[in-house]
Structure 1
Amino acid sequence: MGKAVMSARGAFFVSSVILIFCMVFNGFTGAAHAKEEEKEKSELAELMCGIDMHYKVLERLATYFSFEEIENEREIYANASSRLLTHCKTATTKFARPDDDKYQILNNAMLRASESINVMFAGTEKTYTLEDVLWQMGILRQSCSDCHKHLDIQFGR
């Protein structure tokens, strides 16, 4: 009887140690996964803040009537459009969701609009009008808005 009790206690002890080890191991790996997701969300949020900042610089274009009026600040807008394009490329490649077709379509619309805006400011020839730029800004704004609705992301929270 003594050996059976000792054997049961030993089995219980070993089982308890294994259970505790598994719980601790699962806690660490689960926390690492949660931290990784949180890091990705914060990187994306930071990237979206950059997109928003450069978009707002370009949004000031709506206060002008022609490209000739912005010649003194053309470098500022060209820089903002270039950085906007860089951020949009990063968003579409690093944070792609191949399983979500609508997200991919909206991200590609955002990228195409930012590319068009950048082309308009990068070129030295003035074949584009201010209305062309503002039209692309509207497409960019709408694609961002539609994507945020699709993902159920609300501003101001």
Structure 2
Amino acid sequence: MATFSISAMAAQCGVTTANIRSWERYGLLQPTKDEAGNRFYCIEDAIRIQHIIDALSKGFSLKEIKPALYGEETHCRSGWLFYQEEILAQCRKFEPAKLRKLLWRYGREIPPCIVIESILRPLRLWLSAGDDDARRFEKALLDTAIIEYATFQ
């Protein structure tokens, strides 16, 4: 059976190695390891990764995905709204350090294209639609955190 390294699997599936490691911690993936601890993935893992990406793109959290992978019926609690509310809460509390940590966590758990397209871009649009100073401040704080994340990733 053909096996792939973590970097090869990440490149093949369009995710980061950090995403794959995070999914392992959540019990979504269980690669084989050699004596040195190197991870190896097979075609079934690539299929599982595609199922994870599909569920994430629909707004499921990692905790909600695990039962679905094992055939249990699950329902997405709120799509991306939950993630956006967590980010907005840190902006409103003026907690830039916690906001940065949150973005880093999402970046590890969710493929970057999904974070950008489904969480950050809609939240920025919503913040831009407001005319009040509070929303402008929240957007500036979010933009700063996004730039820091992109710069130091």
TM-score of the two chains, using structure 1 as the length reference: 0.30
Q: Which has the larger radius of gyration?
A: 1
TM-score of the two chains, using structure 2 as the length reference: 0.31
